[in-house]
Amino acid sequence: MDLDKLPDGWTIYVWLVAGVLIIVAAIFAIRWAARNEQFDEDIKYLVFDENDKDKMTPEEFKKSQDVMKAQMKRREELLQEKAENKNLKEKAENKE
């Protein structure tokens, strides 16, 4: 196929298709992020620990501790859910 023989204006369609593909990819990425709890405003508090108490106000420190506890609880829930799914999958494979 010789590109010189194509009619004028064909490149706009290539750009349109590329633009649509980029938009679709961005939509899927945002959807994935929303479903996987990636839009958490409190994530900034996870970098702090007990040694940072003197660098923070009492309210900020309490908030960081609460966020850490909530994140650890959610982590345990997800790990438990993953283990249960693995067990169900193994049981289903054993029945076959």
For the segment 28-52, the average pLDDT, to the nearest whole number, is 85
For the segment 45-74, the average pLDDT, to the nearest whole number, is 87
Provide the token pair at 96: 């076959």
pTM of the model: 0.56
Sequence ranges of the domains in the chain: 1-39, 41-96
**Would you list the DSSP string of the chain?**
--GGGSPTTTHHHHHHHHHHHHHHHHHHHHHHHHHTT---GGGGGGG--GGGGGGS-HHHHHHHHHHHHHHHHHHHHHHHHHHHHHHHHHHHHHH-
Provide the token pair at 66: 């609460």
* Candidate from 3-7, 10-14, 31-35, 76-80 with smallest mean pLDDT: 3-7
For the segment 31-59, the average pLDDT, to the nearest whole number, is 85
pLDDT (tens digit per residue) in 79-94: 999 999 998 888 888 8
- Residue 29: per-residue pLDDT: 97
The CA distance from 90 to 71, in Å, is: 28
